[in-house]
Amino acid sequence: MSSSSERVSSDTDGKRDTVSSWTGASLAARRGLRTAALAVVLPLAVIIIWQYAGRGGSLFGGVLPTPDRVWEAWRIWAFGPTGLGLNPYSGTWLANLLFSAERVGKGFLCAIVVGVPVGIAIGWNRISAGTLDPTIQLLRPIPITAWLPFSIAVFGIQDIGAIFLISLGAFFPIVLNTAQGARDVERNLIRASLMMGAGRWTVLRRVVLPASLPSIFTGLRIGLGIGWTAVIVAEMVAVKSGLGYVLWDAYYVGRMDVVIADMATIGLLGLLSDMIIMQIERWVLNWRRLQSYQS
Amino acid sequence: MGTITFEGVSKIYGGQREVRALDDISLTIGEGEFVALLGPSGCGKSTLLNVLAGFEKVTKGELLFDGTTISKPGPDRGVVFQEAALFPWLTVWQNVIFGPQVQGMARPEYEPRARQLLDLVGLTSFADALPVQLSGGMRQRVGIARVLVMNPRALLMDEPFGALDAQTRLSMQQLLLDVWQKLNTTVLFVTHDIDEAILLSDRICVMSARPGRIIKTIPIELARPRSIASLTSPEFIAYKAEIMADIRITDHH
Ligand SMILES: Nc1ncnc2c1ncn2[C@@H]1O[C@H](COP(=O)(O)OP(=O)(O)OP(=O)(O)O)[C@@H](O)[C@H]1O
Ligand SMILES: [Mg+2]
């Protein structure tokens, strides 16, 4: 039945494949370079204007330090000697970054572990949707900032409070998107699996879950973004370490250079974590990528 | 094994306007018989197949498969869907062994048979490809292989070649003839292509729309084994003329 014209490019024609993947690689590299170049134009322009607009190292009458000062502050914050010198931030950048990242990681993981099963249950089963969805919709409009007093009262000034806020913030987008994905599973895929003898659990695990993954990943990306917001808010108020704590502390003692270096760190960290998720998504959803590339 | 019995089966879809999709259908399909269901769009062909598959419940009447009432879908009735309905995240091979796997069969039990069937449908070299990397006809062949691997007593096919181009369609019809002549399972084949119905089946049930009824049953006594060469024989043309006349009569109603 299969004629020689019916071929998949991936594993049949080895030689041509290596050639095309070679040129493909260099093409991709060039495209990547151009994307990167385009991406830095705007930030670079802002930094340059900001630098030259400043007089005597600051703007707005000493409030906003120029980029060179921010850079210097970051350098000392990152690589300066630690200890009880005049600069309490010296050498603490990595430690604080790791504090924040660890909290986001833990909170995000909790949100996934609870959010994905709950989302699947809501999207798949009418009774669990009826029981869980109204409560979730009721809690969802309460911003994480409004949960702060509650969290401090219950958990005290501790890590667990920050982790609670992060998982709460990330939970809602994960649940909503997972539920949407589970609701939208193609009817014939479910029917096909039932026809082949799959039980309820097998349908959930082997059909509903994989079919929902594209939506789940959308939820994860939004959830992670909210997680970073939550960690900063929590650290500003409810714990005594991390990037959020440094941010607020530096503001109090008038170290705007550290404040801005801190903000830049948060931004880059958020970007990095999003890129990691996207990379995992690309790897897990290879089938979907092929689908969308084929026109 | 593989006997299908409809006894006064009706199916009414509820909702704002009730639709009587099947009205008092009585039909018996014997073991190893190939029956084609022919009719205009919306006459209830898919509904008939879906109640038989166990995807939908009947409103009235009795629907039996080998003497037992049908209550849910199962691997004894293999369904081939119009758009194949393969799992896009699984490779061809994984799609084919999905049924035996979820039924908890051991690998040595199903692997030789799965390989054999993949070979039969000509897709051995595509075992590791994803469904998106296949053509429509190839996808349909995977859909057939994954059902045959379960050794079903009946095959239910809902316009399985409807979305294919004429040439691929012919080769798929030939493939189905070859496979069926080898296996001899009961087949219910939904189509609105008259040629396809005559070529493949032992018997054609012609349906009319609203309410969905079987208005005529035509035995097709063309010699077997058949091949797509039969399409041009005089007997074939005679059957075609007869059926077209029937359909014209129902159109004027
Ligand atoms: N899930 C449903 N809910 C309500 N009405 C339905 C449903 N499925 C089918 N119907 C109605 O039942 C009738 C028969 O539909 P069915 O899909 O069985 O037709 P068909 O013969 O398969 O048509 P086609 O050749 O176009 O596939 C139609 O009038 C349709 O509107
Ligand atoms: Mg139909």
CA of A89 to the centre of ligand 1 (A): 71
Query: Are A262 and A198 a contacting pair, CB within 8 Å?
Result: no
The whole-number pLDDT of residue A15 equals: 44
Verify whether the Cβ–Cβ distance A210 to B175 is below 8 Å.
Answer: no
Distance CA B246, CA A228 (A): 70
Q: What is the DSSP string of A72-131?
A: HHHHHHHHSPPSSSS-TTTT-HHHHHHHHHHHHHHHHHHHHHHHHHHHHHHHH-HHHHHH
Output the pLDDT for position B69: 94
Residues 6+ apart with CB under 8 A from A119: A174, A175, A176, A177, A178, A179, A181, A182, A212, A216, A219
* Average pLDDT along chain B: 91
Q: Is A217 helix (H, G, I), strand (E, B) or coil?
A: helix
CB contact (8 A) between residue A287 and residue B132: yes
The rounded distance, in Å, linking the Cα atoms of B159 and A45 is 61
Read off the pLDDT band of A293 (50, 70, 90).
low
Residue B100 beta carbon below 6 angstroms from any ligand 1 atom: no
Q: What distance in Å separates the CA atoms of residue B128 and residue B143, rounded to the nearest whole number?
A: 15
Q: What are B10-65's pLDDT values in tens digits?
A: 999 988 888 889 999 999 999 999 999 998 888 999 999 999 999 999 999 999 99
* Residues of chain A contacting B132 with CB distance shorter than 8 Å: 287, 290-291, 294
**Collapsing DSSP states into helix, strand and coil, what is residue A231?**
helix
Exposure of A68 in the CB half-sphere (CA atoms within 13 A): 11
At residue A142, the pLDDT reads 95
Mean pLDDT of A56-80: 86
Provide the 3-class DSSP secondary structure of residue A207: helix
Contacts of A213 in chain B (CB under 8 A): 89
Ranges of chain B whose pLDDT falls below 70: 249-253
Give yes or no for B198 touching A (CB within 8 A).
no
Dist. CA B104–CA B116, nearest whole Å: 20
Q: How far is B7 from chain A (nearest CA, A)?
A: 23
Ligand 1 mutation pick, B9, B11, B22, B45, max ligand atoms within 8 A of CB? B45
What's the average model confidence in pLDDT over A39-63? Answer: 85
Question: Which of B11, B20, B38, B43 for a ligand 1 pocket mutation test, highest count of atoms within 8 Å of Cβ?
Answer: B43
Decide if A6 touches B, using CB distance below 8 A.
yes
Task: With CA atoms as reference, report the closest residue to A260 among A84, A63, A92, A99.
Answer: A63
Atom 3, ligand 1: which residue's CA is nearest? Answer: B13
Q: Is B15 in the pocket of ligand 1 (CB under 6 A)?
A: yes
How much is the ipTM here?
0.92
Question: Is it the case that residue A14 has pLDDT exceeding 50?
Answer: no
- Quote the pLDDT of residue A82: 82
Q: Indicate the burial class of A44 (C-beta count within 10 angstroms; 0-12, 13-18, 19 or more).
A: exposed
- Note whether A11 contacts B: Cβ–Cβ < 8 A: yes
For the Cβ of B16 lying below 6 angstroms from any atom of ligand 1, the answer is: no
Distance CA B208, CA B23 (A): 10
CATH code reported for the domain at B31-57+156-253: 3.40.50.300
Residues A194-219, mean pLDDT to the nearest whole number: 96
The full DSSP string for B170-233 is: HHHHHHHHHHHHHH--EEEEEES-HHHHHHH-SEEEEEETTTTEEEEEEE----SS--GGGGGS
Query: Of B100, B126, B131, which is closest to residue A186 (Cα–Cα)?
Result: B131
Q: How far apart are CA A127 and CA A218, in angstroms?
A: 25
Average pLDDT over residues A251-269: 94
Alpha helix stretches (DSSP H) within chain A: 14-53, 67-79, 93-124, 126-139, 144-155, 159-183, 187-195, 200-203, 209-237, 243-252, 256-284, 286-293
DSSP A55: B
> What integer pLDDT is reported at residue A23 of this predicted model?
67
